[in-house]
Homo-oligomer: A and B are copies of this chain.
Amino acid sequence: MKEIGGGVCAAKGFKAGGVRCGIKASAKKRDLALIYSETVCAAAGVFTTNRVKAACILVSQENLKGGALRAIIANSGNANACTGEAGIAASRRMTELAAEVLAIEPAEVAVASTGVIGVPLPIAVIESGIAALGNSLSADEGGHAAALEAIMTTDTRPKDCAVEVEIGGKPVRIGGMIKGAGMIHPNMATLLCFITTDAAIDSTVLDSCLRNSARRSFNRITVDGDTSTNDAAIIMANGLAGNPPITAAGAEREVFERALEALCVKLARAAARDGEGATKLLTVAVSGAKNEDTAEALAKAVASSSLVKAACFGEDANWGRILCAMGYSGAEFDPAAVDISFTNGDGTRSGAGSGGEEAVVCQGGASVPFSEETAKRILSRENIEIRIKAGAGAGAATAWGCDLTFDYVKINGSYRT
């Protein structure tokens, strides 16, 4: 597997574009995005588990029932959530507008929205921008970049990734974009993520690969514990790579799923790092748990703790809060068997250790003497990794979050105004 450029335009036969139609108050920022495939795609999506689902989620779920799509239209600046029947009609209208300009069927279009909740979607400005949106489509990296800009809200940077793997002798590309940056908490899917691939793959297999990948990526990041009404991760596979179609389990599916998972983890980690107000990426790597579910529950509880997050911001090696968060996670473990250390890294071998230092702060559930200076130096760096051995089991899982900062409060104290 190698990383390549191009984002959602990296795979053959995909185009993307983005324009400013006027949903966002800013006169400069793009707010309407389109991703399009020349041919019909096998498609799958994972969506928020919030009982309050934005209108676009309901419409996309409906259109994904057949496992086929050709386009995704998305806007930022308005979530189209808590907008009643008019909201549903507006989301449907977005699929119709995209279908018209692309000369495809509305049922072949998924729709996503992100932004403020509870404000009617200004569908007229989307109608007025749709022709320009169609004209903005491009298979170049610029098309990808314009679409990505158009789905960003409080994100401080574009977040994307593309990879290439060989399947059945053919190069297969997978590319994606993600937007954060608040109201992020793992629950089935999270945030907006659009992925394209030219792999030939059955939609049922694709769905299963996406769910497995989401579990170990989007579902393992947290910014503030709030599960959004609009979370969606959607993948489209158009088959233009020409690989022998992946229709069942086997080595080829394995290669595809590993690549998809790696891509999703990279995107998810980037979203956590770009959490609202964040100055640091927080990686919590749990091993030695009873099983993967237990390890996941422990890792997520620690990554979600406001107190742990604030301590990382303040560079305070207050490890008791880590053990405390494990304790209220609901997961089964023996507190007296826990070891905790701080190091620098992002949970991957490639991201390991600026400085290579590690400070062991807790052994067997109790304090051990450690150098406050070393700990503080580790915590002052951008990639903080908390390593937890929860006992002697085989279960391991990694979760990602960020520090809790003054700027998180600032951003979210005046989001609408």
Residues of A in contact with B (beta carbons under 8 Å apart): 49-53, 79, 81-84, 86-87, 116-120, 182-183, 185, 187, 224-229, 304-307, 310-311, 313-321, 323-329, 333, 335-336, 361-362, 364-367, 404-406, 408-417
Complex-state Cα separation, A415 to B316, whole angstroms: 8
Looking at the complex, which one of B314, B315, B323 makes contact with A412 (CB distance below 8 Å)?
B314
Which residues of B have CB within 8 Å of A87?
A: 366
Nearest CB of B to A334, in Å? 9
Which residues of chain B have C-beta atoms less than 8 A from A406's C-beta?
A: 406, 409-410
Q: List 24 A-B contacts (CB under 8 A).
A: A51-B328, A52-B323, A53-B327, A81-B323, A82-B320, A82-B362, A84-B365, A84-B366, A86-B366, A116-B318, A117-B323, A118-B367, A119-B320, A119-B367, A224-B306, A229-B323, A229-B327, A311-B412, A315-B413, A316-B414, A317-B416, A404-B409, A406-B409, A406-B410
How far, in whole Å, are A167 and B417 apart by their CA atoms in the complex?
Answer: 54
Contact A320 B409 (CB under 8 A): no
Residues of B near A319 (CB, < 8 A) are 117-118
Q: Report the Cα distance A49→B362, complex, angstroms.
A: 22
Q: Identify which of B311, B364, B409 contacts A84 (C-beta below 8 A).
A: B364
User: How many Å lie between the Cα of A326 and that of B117 in the bound state?
Assistant: 13
Q: B83 touching A367 by the CB < 8 A rule?
A: yes
8 Å CB contact of A366 from B51, B82, B183, B229: B82
Q: Chain B contacts of A328 at CB under 8 A?
A: 49-51, 185, 187, 226-227
Most buried by B among A361, A404, A412: A412
Kindly list 6 other residue pairs between chains A and B, CB separation below 8 angstroms, not including A86-B366, A117-B321, A311-B412: A83-B366, A83-B367, A117-B319, A229-B327, A311-B415, A316-B416
Neighbouring B residues of A310 by C-beta, 8 Å? 408-409, 411-413
Counting every copy of the chain, the complex holds 2
A308 — nearest CB in chain B belongs to which residue?
Answer: B226
Report the minimum CB–CB distance from A18 to chain B (whole Å): 24
- Please state if B183 and A84 are interface contacts (CB–CB under 8 Å): no
Known: A307-B182, A307-B183, A367-B119. A324 touches B413 (CB 8 A): no
Nearest CB in chain B to that of A417: its residue: B316
Q: Which residues of B contact A53 (CB under 8 A)?
A: 327
| Smallest Cβ-Cβ distance to A336: which chain B residue | B84
Of B118, B120, B313, B335, the contact of A82 (CB 8 Å cutoff): B335
A119 contacts across to B, CB distance below 8 A: 320, 367
Bound Cα distance from A251 to B383, whole angstroms: 61
Smallest CB-CB separation from A368: which chain B residue?
B118
Q: What residue in chain B is nearest A310 (Cβ atoms)?
A: B412
Query: Are A320 and B227 within 8 A (Cβ)?
Result: no
**Is B327 a contact partner of A366 (Cβ separation < 8 A)?**
no
Which of B82, B316, B320, B405 meets A79, CB within 8 Å?
B320
**Complex alpha-carbon distance, A313 and B53, angstroms:** 26
**CB neighbours of A316 from chain B (8 A):** 413-417
Q: How many angstroms between the C-alpha atoms of A362 and B52 in the bound complex? A: 14
Instruction: Check A305–B226 contact: CB distance below 8 A.
Output: yes
Q: List chain B residues, Cβ under 8 A from A185.
A: 328
**CB distance B50 to A320 under 8 Å?**
no
**With a CB–CB cut-off of 8 A, which chain B residues contact A325?**
226
